Chains A and B, each alone.
Chain A
């Protein structure tokens, strides 16, 4: 798994190029997130629009990504049904800023406008 990185309107957009974030890809996500976000001070959005499955290891890796940012926020966009369910059941939907899709994330004026 690779975490694709691009900047749009000053927002760092990270896109995992996989449809599953599970035990086999979680470790790559964590490492690549750390590398991609080093020195970045603006908003950071992870686009999960193509990800149709996240297991507990993948969820753990996304939580660890948030912790890398310390007091800053991590925004997630485009949660597909199973992914949204896993976040909701574990209450992790409350610790991230979640946007319906990447377009609405980019249109939001700031992280708190979700």
Chain B
């Protein structure tokens, strides 16, 4: 099946509408469980945030091309952006804090990649020229 391709300008104020539009399209296709749609929602939000905050440095942002492949065995997501490469050319894989941790030591960040790894196992990253390519599969 041909992918749906979305072009967006990275910016935290516009992601909500873009993501809700994509999630509505996934739901309208009638091909996926509520759980799969929810997982795709979380993954899309975290992926776009990461590109905005890290690849584009969280300021003016830049261009993101997002391709969505609605396949029988899952939802395939590919993003292209033209910002900074991932540190070490690798996807971060943070772990959760010890649940017995004191309140004052609780982390306020680092949840994003944890959620992505959990909901879209084995994300892929490629750097080609000045382009970051990320691929995720949500089942």
Output the least CB separation between B19 and chain A (Å).
Answer: 8
Measured in the bound complex, the distance between the Cα atoms of B119 and A82 in whole Å is 12
Among the listed B12, B41, B107, B119, which residue makes an inter-chain contact with A24, where contact means beta carbons less than 8 Å apart? B12
Among the listed A55, A60, A67, A95, which residue makes an inter-chain contact with B42, where contact means beta carbons less than 8 Å apart? A55
Among the listed A55, A61, A91, which residue makes an inter-chain contact with B46, where contact means beta carbons less than 8 Å apart? A55
A97 within 8 A of B: no
Contact B106 A23 (CB under 8 A): no
Measured in the bound complex, the distance between the Cα atoms of B107 and A91 in whole Å is 12
Output the least CB separation between B138 and chain A (Å).
Answer: 13
Contact B13 A24 (CB under 8 A): yes
Contact A55 B38 (CB under 8 A): no
What is the interface residue range for chain B against chain A? Answer: 20 to 34
Measured CB to CB, the nearest residue on chain B to A27 is B12
Knowing A22-B15, A23-B53, A53-B41 are in contact, say whether A86-B115 is a contact too (CB < 8 A): yes
Within 8 A of B (CB), among A86-104: 86, 89-92, 94-95
Chain A interface helix/strand/loop/mixed: helix
Contact A63 B99 (CB under 8 A): no
Among the listed A60, A71, A81, A86, which residue makes an inter-chain contact with B109, where contact means beta carbons less than 8 Å apart? A60
Among the listed B106, B111, B114, B118, which residue makes an inter-chain contact with A67, where contact means beta carbons less than 8 Å apart? B106
Contact B115 A90 (CB under 8 A): yes
Knowing A55-B112, A56-B109, A90-B111 are in contact, say whether A82-B103 is a contact too (CB < 8 A): no
A14 within 8 A of B: no
Contact B115 A89 (CB under 8 A): yes
The 8 A CB mask of B101-131 against A (1 = contact, 0 = none) is 0011011111110110011000000000000
Q: Across the interface, which residues of B come within 8 angstroms of A36, CB to CB?
A: none
Measured in the bound complex, the distance between the Cα atoms of B34 and A55 in whole Å is 18
Among the listed A53, A55, A89, A91, which residue makes an inter-chain contact with B49, where contact means beta carbons less than 8 Å apart? A55
B52 within 8 A of A: yes
Output the least CB separation between A33 and chain B (Å).
Answer: 13
Measured in the bound complex, the distance between the Cα atoms of B111 and A34 in whole Å is 22
Contact B49 A81 (CB under 8 A): no
The 10 closest A-B pairs by CB, nearest first: A56-B112, A56-B111, A60-B108, A24-B12, A23-B12, A55-B45, A64-B108, A82-B38, A90-B111, A60-B109
